[in-house]
Amino acid sequence: MAGRTIVITGGSDGIGAEAARQVARTGQDRLILVGRSAEKTASVAREVGADHVVADFTRLGDVRRLATDIRQRTDRVDVLANNAGGVFGERTVTEDGNEKTFQVNLLAPFLLTHLLLDLLRAGTGIVVNTSSASAKIVGKVDIDDLNHEKTYTPMRAYADAKLANILFARGLHARYHPLGINAVAFDPGNVRTGFGAENNDLLTRLLYRTPLSRLALIPPEKGGANLAYFLTGTPGVDWEPGRFYAQQRPATPRQTNRQVNDDILVDRFWNRAALLAGAKD
C-alpha cells in the first residue's frame, strides 16, 4: 500500500526515526513526524523529506493543538503510529493531574487517536501502538490505580502503561473496526537506544545498561523495521487487526499478559482512560 499519509509520534529518534527512514526510502508515502525536541524532530524530518510537528505529551493541551495542526496539513490520516513514550524517574504528576508515565505512554496517544478518528476513517484507518515485552514481565493494569498513587516504581509504571497500550488497541478494535479502523499493538523487541535515560532504577540498569544486556539488545534499525512492517503492511493480509504481536509475529500465550484477553477489563479500561484523557465519544 503506497501514497498514504503516515503520522509517527516519537519520530525524532529511536525506532520512530528509524521507521521513518525506512518508509521514506520508497518515496511513495507522506510522513508527518511528531517529537518533543524541536531540533531533533526537524533534523530527522529534513533527512527523510517529511513534515514535522513539535508536541509535549506531558500536556494534553499540546495533544489537542497537535491534532489541530495535523488537520491543517491533511484531510486524511492513513496510518497513525502511537510510538512516543518513555520511562522516567521519580513519580511526577502532570498539569493535567495524571502520573507522567501513564499520560505520556497512554493517555496522550489515546486522546490523539480519538481526535483524529474522522481523519483515520477518511483514510485506511490503521492505528499502530508500540508496546513492550515489559507488559508481560511486570505489567498489571489496576483500574483503580492507573496513576500509581498507591505504589510506584519507574519500570512498573512503564510496564503497566505498555500493557495498557495493548488494551487500548483491543478496545479500539472492538469499537471501531466495523467503521473501518484497523488497530494493532506490537512489541518491537529490546532495542539498543537511549531508552530510560531519565531512569536509574535497578531493573532498567539490568535490562539496558550492563555489558551482557547490551549483547541481547537488537539494533535500532531492526526495531525500526518492526515498526515499519505494520506501517506499510496491509491489515488482514500482512497482520491481523485487534492482535498483539511480538516483533513481526503474533505473540504466543507465553509472550502475552493474561489481562490482554480479559474483555471486561478492556472495556472498563477504555471507559476510565477516556475519562482521564477527556476523550468523549
The backbone torsions φ and ψ at residue 183, rounded to the nearest 5 degrees and listed phi first, read -105, 145
Q: How far are the Cα atoms of 4, 89, 166, 228 from residue 170, in angstroms, in the given order?
A: 24, 29, 6, 20
Active site residue 158: yes
- Cα–Cα distance between 178 and 160 in angstroms, integer? 28
Catalytic one of 152, 158, 229, 245: 158
Q: In terms of DSSP bridges, do strands 126-130 and 30-35 run parallel, antiparallel, or are they unpaired? A: unpaired
Q: Which residues have a catalytic role annotated?
A: 158
